Structures are given as structure tokens and as C-alpha cells.
């Protein structure tokens, strides 16, 4: 296991995405926090179970809330009349993430995208949630036309952290049995290239990024073995792992089981990994992970 001399320990933020999407997701997130390793949750501002998610957050002050910016495969916060080129007549975005990625390359959509991103942040503020971090549904916040919009609005609201998928190649190489073929390697290359550019934008707005962000190669298939591989691959750094627990689906239940695994918790202790939410991270603990090696 490699260690970085700039660090005096290993820190892990385990994040549950799609919070507020449904009651079954909310139930899984609460369970993964109460009896597992989840310390942060990214909420969908227009999710069907948004209000329930808000109540879960209020009852769990140690669960760091974030905004899961949603611009595909769900509905918008704003009515269709305010963002007519982004949604259909029912207020739903393009369902396919790849099609949405291509669509948002159109410059004439930027004002409507900004309007919706702002509305999603404001919905959290309206119900009393101060987000500690921001990320994106299907990682659309990483789109070159969208990333700075998200950074700008996050910075205005005191958000400190933004996700940039950055999985170590060692973890991907251990996943040769995955059915996704070469896709994890393609994603690793694409998001790695985007990250080199986006880190400058994040710095411009005072936003921080974790040294490594795990979960991309195993989207929909995170299990105990994968989390153990991640833990074994961590050096002295701040890392994030994002997950999608859900009690209503087989993959979601598998992720929940991994997040509440006794073996995972034992490995955390044996390796000396500190679990944290983004709210708790101090300036001293993250000074190196913010910008990477000088």
C-alpha cells in the first residue's frame, strides 16, 4: 500500500447518492449511516421522496448533506415553462445520460442550465439544508459546459467540496471480472483528462477535491470485495467512495450489505482509516488533498 509523506493518516468519506429519489433509497441510506460507514449523502432536490430525506437529515446531524445536481434521468425543480429546452412537457430531463451529455454541448442552453442548477441549490436552502458538498447524477456536473456553473453556485452558498471521479488504476485492474468490458478504463481516461482542467476551475471558486474518488468502475455493482480493495489501495490521503444503496433492488441491497459489512468495518480499524463526513473535515486534515502535489 503506497503512502504519501504529506499525509499523517487515511481519511475516507463514504457517500450515498440519489438520496431523496425514493423511500426505498432513503431507508437504505439511513440504515447505511446508522449501522454502516456512510457519513455523507447527496440529495436530489426534485426527488419523489425529497421531504422524507430532509427529515432523515434532521434526525442525523452527523450525516453530511450534499446536492446531487440532476440534469438527466429525472425531473427538474423548475416548471417546464422556465426551462423548455431542457425538459419535456411533464418537466422531465432527457433519460439517457449519454444523450444528455451531447445535448448540453449546445451553448444556447447554458442560461437554462444555470437557472435550474440555481433552483436546485435554493430548494435545499429553503428547507434549511446547508450543503457541504456537490456532485452530479450520472456525473453530468463534470460536463465542460456545466462544471463552472455548478462551481459558481456552490461557492456562493458556502459549499466546500466538489466531486471529481478519480479512481486509482490499481483498483480498476483488480476488477477484471466486471461485465462492463473496457468501459471502466475509458471512463478513467475521460474523467482523468477532464479533472486536469476542472481542478483549476474548482480552485478559482475555492472548492476542494478529494485525492481519489472511487465507485465509477463499479457503478451498480459495489460489493464488499470492492470496498475492501479500495481500502487496501488507499495511501495516506483523503478518499471518497460513492455508492447507491437501495432496499428495493438486488444491486442496491448488495451495496447496503457491503456498507454495513463487519469485514469492512474491521478492515477500516486494522488499517487505521478515519471515517468522516465532509462537514467534519478540518483545514489541517485536508491541506494536501485540496490541490494535490505541488
Structural domains of the chain in order of their starting residue, each with its CATH number: 10-286 (3.20.20.370)
Q: What is the rounded distance in angstroms from the CA atom of residue 8 to the CA atom of residue 258?
A: 27
Tens-place pLDDT, residues 34-59: 999 999 999 999 999 999 999 999 99
Q: What is the value of pTM for the model shown?
A: 0.91
Q: Are 129 and 40 in contact (CB under 8 A)?
A: no
214 SS3 class? strand
Query: What does pLDDT average to over the chain?
Result: 90
Scan for cell 426534485, then name that residue. Answer: 46
Q: Name residue 40's beta-bridge partners.
A: 15, 64
More confident residue, 149 or 5: 149
- Asked whether the predicted pLDDT for residue 286 surpasses 60, the reply is no
Q: Is the pLDDT at 3 greater than 70, yes or no?
A: no
pLDDT of residue 6: 44
What local confidence, expressed as pLDDT, does residue 2 receive? Answer: 37
CB count in 10 Å sphere of residue 228: 17
Please, which pLDDT band fits residue 5 given cuts at 50, 70 and 90?
A: very low
Residue pair 83/60 in contact by the 8 Å Cβ criterion: no
How far is the C-alpha of 231 from the C-alpha of 12, rounded, in Å?
Answer: 9
pLDDT at 293 over 50: no
28 pLDDT exceeds 50?
yes
> In the prediction, which pLDDT does 83 show?
98
For range 152-156, the mean pLDDT: 97
Cβ(31)–Cβ(106) below 8 Å: no
| Sequential DSSP letters for 154-192 | HHHTT--EE---B--HHHHHTTTT-TTTTHHHHHHHHHH
Q: What is the predicted pLDDT for the residue at 176?
A: 52
pLDDT given for residue 239 in this prediction: 95
Cα separation, 136 vs 122, whole angstroms: 16
CA–CA–CA angle 75, 78, 81 (5° rounding): 105
Q: Mean pLDDT, to the nearest integer, of 190-198?
A: 90
Task: For 236-255, write each residue's pLDDT tens digit.
Answer: 889 999 999 999 999 999 99
- C-alpha span between 191 and 198 (Å, rounded): 10
Q: Please report which helix (H) or strand (E) contains residue 285, including its range.
A: helix 283-286
Q: How far apart are the first and last CA of the chain?
A: 22
CA atoms lying within 13 Å on the CB side of residue 215: 23
Where do the DSSP E strands lie in the chain?
A: 10-19, 40-43, 64-69, 133-136, 161-162, 212-214, 238-243, 273-275
Q: Is the pLDDT of residue 285 over 80?
A: no
Amino acid at each position: 500500500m503506497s503512502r504519501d509523506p504529506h499525509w499523517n493518516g487515511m481519511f475516507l468519506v463514504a457517500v450515498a447518492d440519489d438520496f431523496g429519489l425514493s423511500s426505498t433509497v432513503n431507508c437504505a441510506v439511513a440504515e447505511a449511516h446508522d449501522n454502516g460507514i456512510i457519513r455523507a449523502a447527496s440529495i436530489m432536490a426534485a426527488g419523489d421522496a425529497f421531504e422524507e430525506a430532509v427529515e432523515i437529515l434532521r434526525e442525523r446531524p452527523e450525516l453530511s448533506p450534499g446536492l446531487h445536481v440532476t440534469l438527466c434521468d429525472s425531473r427538474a425543480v423548475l416548471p417546464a415553462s422556465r426551462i423548455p429546452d431542457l425538459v419535456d412537457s411533464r418537466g422531465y430531463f432527457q433519460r439517457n445520460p449519454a444523450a444528455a451529455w451531447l445535448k448540453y454541448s449546445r451553448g444556447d442552453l447554458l442560461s437554462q442550465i444555470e437557472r435550474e442548477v440555481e433552483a436546485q441549490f435554493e430548494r435545499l436552502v429553503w428547507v434549511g439544508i446547508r450543503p457541504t458538498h456537490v456532485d452530479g447524477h450520472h456525473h453530468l456536473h463534470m460536463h465542460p459546459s456545466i462544471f463552472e456553473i455548478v462551481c459558481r453556485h456552490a461557492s456562493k452558498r458556502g459549499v466546500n467540496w466538489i466531486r471529481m471521479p478519480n479512481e486509482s488504476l490499481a483498483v480498476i485492474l483488480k476488477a477484471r471480472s466486471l461485465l462492463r468490458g473496457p468501459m471502466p478504463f475509458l471512463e478513467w481516461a475521460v474523467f482523468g483528462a477532464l479533472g486536469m482542467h476542472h481542478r483549476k476551475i474548482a480552485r478559482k471558486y475555492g472548492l476542494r477535491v478529494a485525492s481519489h474518488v472511487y465507485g465509477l468502475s463499479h457503478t451498480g455493482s459495489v460489493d464488499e470485495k470492492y470496498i475492501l480493495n479500495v481500502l487496501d489501495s488507499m495511501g495516506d490521503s483523503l478518499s471518497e467512495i460513492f455508492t447507491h444503496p437501495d432496499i428495493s433492488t438486488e444491486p442496491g441491497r448488495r451495496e447496503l450489505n457491503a456498507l454495513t459489512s463487519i469485514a469492512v468495518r474491521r478492515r477500516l480499524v486494522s488499517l487505521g482509516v478515519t471515517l468522516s463526513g465532509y462537514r467534519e473535515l478540518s483545514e489541517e486534515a485536508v491541506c494536501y488533498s485540496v490541490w494535490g502535489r505541488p
